[in-house]
């Protein structure tokens, strides 16, 4: 990543080194850059916004304490892998807190009508994603919420590239059909 917020810091790896050395601004920079996407990924996988927030935070805690052998790869991929694996463990434990359907979607200064329409659209999208089979939901979360390439998703999930592409294709197709049936999109 390019410089953002800290003078002299060009990469997330450098921010991590400074954060481990006690720099609060470096820690805040990493958190600001990556936290929201980790929440979206983990919440989508677990089906719980509460779990999503907890797992994103846990990913950052582990980041501070883990031993990193090299910094040649993508920082985002490294952090997302941690969050992804934590979300899978959480999902297996079936310790979901609050469902995504119950989550209040935040809106920025919009008219009450615009906010209501956006809330209903967002809730319909969340319902469509939650209706997907787990395997499709996971690749969809990694692609659209995590911003990962097909190749990165294949590595993270340990799936063949063709399987990733197929699952993503059918996930998008299913969501699109459901949203059209609900009248959200035409």
Q: Where are the domains of the chain?
A: 1-102, 104-186
* The predicted structure's pLDDT at residue 22: 84
Q: Taking the model in full, what pTM does it have?
A: 0.59
CATH topology of domain 1-102: Rna Polymerase Sigma Factor; Chain: A (1.10.1740)
pLDDT of residue 179: 85
And the tokens for 151? Answer: 């190749």
Model pLDDT, residue 165 = 94
CA dist 95 and 118 (Å) reads: 29
The CATH number of the structural domain formed by 104-186 is 1.10.10.10
pLDDT reported for residue 111: 61
Distance, first Cα to last Cα, the chain: 37
The DSSP call for residue 145 is I
Intervals of the chain under pLDDT 50: 1-4, 94-108
User: How many angstroms separate the Cα of 166 from the Cα of each of 65, 80, 81, 170, 173?
Assistant: 36, 21, 21, 6, 11
């Amino acid at each position: 990543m390019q410089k953002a917020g800290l003078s002299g810091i060009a990469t997330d790896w450098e921010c991590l080194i400074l954060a481990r050395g006690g720099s609060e601004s470096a820690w805040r920079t990493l958190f600001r850059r990556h936290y929201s996407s980790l929440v979206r990924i983990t919440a989508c996988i677990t089906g719980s916004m509460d779990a999503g927030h907890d797992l994103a935070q846990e990913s950052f805690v582990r980041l501070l304490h883990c031993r990193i052998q090299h910094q040649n790869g993508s920082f985002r991929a490294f952090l997302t892998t941690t969050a992804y694996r934590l979300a899978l463990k959480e999902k297996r434990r079936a310790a979901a807190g609050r469902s995504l359907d119950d989550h209040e979607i935040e809106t920025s200064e919009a008219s009450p009508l615009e906010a209501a329409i956006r809330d209903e659209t967002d809730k319909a999208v969340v319902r469509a994603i939650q209706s997907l089979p787990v395997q499709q939901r996971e690749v969809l979360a990694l692609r659209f919420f995590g911003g990962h390439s097909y190749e990165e998703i294949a590595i993270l999930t340990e799936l063949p590239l063709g399987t990733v592409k197929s699952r993503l294709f059918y996930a998008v197709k299913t969501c699109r059909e459901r949203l059209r049936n609900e009248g959200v999109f035409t």
